[in-house]
Amino acid sequence: MAPLRPLVFAHIGDLHLTEADAQNARDLRAIVETLDGVEGIDFVYLPGDNAENGRPEQYALVRAALDALRLPVHVVTGDHDMEGGSLEPFYACLGVQRLPYAADVSGVRCLFLDMCGSGSGGPDFRLGADQIAWLRGALAEADADGQDVALFMHSYPADLKGEGEAALVSDLVARSRVRLVEMGHTHYNEIANEGRTIYAAARSTGQIEEGPVGFAVAAIDAGVVSWRFHPLATGWPLVLVTAPADRRLAHDAAQAVGAETEIRALVLGDAPIAECRFSIDGGPWLPMTRPDGERCHRARLALPPEARGIAVRATDARGRTTEDRVEPARDAACIRRSEAPGSDAAAIGAWPERGLLGTQLGPNRNGRQW
């Protein structure tokens, strides 16, 4: 049997870089230093609004920081990247691949979109006919291949301004194998679960109104989506339970657990992991193992019908301990459905343990106008 290798990426929120000595530029360099060399991450994702005014000297700050990172990086566009009326500085100064494009990573088809180049600037989000045709074909190809999809774009499809685009793209996503849409723009951490697809947005790095600076870590493990925000000051290690699905993130009836289940947990850090254990509802801590060639620690168990929570705790070689916890979906009745697909209508609200404050405190809802 092939080793289980979930897709894992780190998401650094909207940068809005201006000057090298500004706090957001220092934070970016600190995040890059924290992530550099950590095993178990496929790539780093920047969701747009990389340069506050889309200027070459601002992109040079982004490029200089990313050059210190050994992990692959994928970058999409945001409205601030289009502020000068063109994306040429974005491509010329960052040296990134032209959007849209696809990449197969750890068994997941990753699709990266440009919501800004077809618009007139600012939040005039549009994909345009050619990019929508490309997206339709890419999703159909993934469906024919039986391959899960992660979609990377600056904001919710509902924010698209092109005629009919919002409804069309939302419908394409809902009818496809897209498990996760990963976004920026909101400036706050948010997850929406539409019952088939998870939408996740991470806190801005450059214009923060809620909570501390940090980065998100997301995974897709055999269709199960897991996500958490990791404050920069917290340090390593980090634990993320990748299976079973938490009830708030379960988006398929097959993700409801039965009597027999397997726990899988990703442990990231800058030191070897000395021990990884799990506990059911505060009971004894039992060992988990990490098979050769696999990313996750694993354990099989018979889950009692009354069980409500699974915790995983890891300790590294330096004696640092951290944990994560999920509440498994016990039946299909917990699977959510949205009446307004492609938007934040299905937002799950606060989940402080995963960094979700439920505030919507940012310029695109109820925060400051930057």
Residue 298: in which H helix or E strand, if any? strand 296-302
Name the residue range of residue 133's domain.
7-235
| pLDDT digits (tens), the chain, 370 positions | 445 689 999 999 999 999 999 999 999 999 999 999 899 999 999 999 999 999 999 999 999 999 999 999 999 999 999 999 999 999 999 999 999 999 999 999 999 999 999 999 889 999 999 999 999 999 999 999 999 999 999 999 999 999 999 999 999 999 999 999 999 999 999 999 999 999 999 999 999 999 999 999 999 999 999 999 999 999 999 999 999 999 999 998 889 888 889 999 999 999 999 999 999 999 999 999 999 989 999 999 888 888 899 999 999 999 999 999 999 988 877 776 667 889 999 999 999 999 999 999 998 888 888 7
Question: Do the domain assignments include residue 15?
Answer: yes
Beta pairing, strands 321-326 & 7-11: unpaired
Structure tokens belonging to residue 36: 């550099």
- What is the DSSP annotation of 114-152? -SSTTSSSTT----HHHHHHHHHHHHHHHHHHT--EEEE
> Is the same domain home to 131 and 277?
no
> Is the same domain home to 183 and 260?
no
Question: Do the domain assignments include residue 228?
Answer: yes
> Is the same domain home to 198 and 290?
no
Structure tokens belonging to residue 338: 């949205």
Residues 6+ apart with CB under 8 A from 139: 111, 149, 172, 173, 176, 177, 178
Task: Give the predicted TM-score (pTM) of the model.
Answer: 0.96
Decide: 87 and 78 in contact? Cβ < 8 Å: no
Query: What CATH number has the domain bearing residue 66?
Result: 3.60.21.10
> Is the same domain home to 60 and 93?
yes
Structure tokens belonging to residue 273: 């992991």
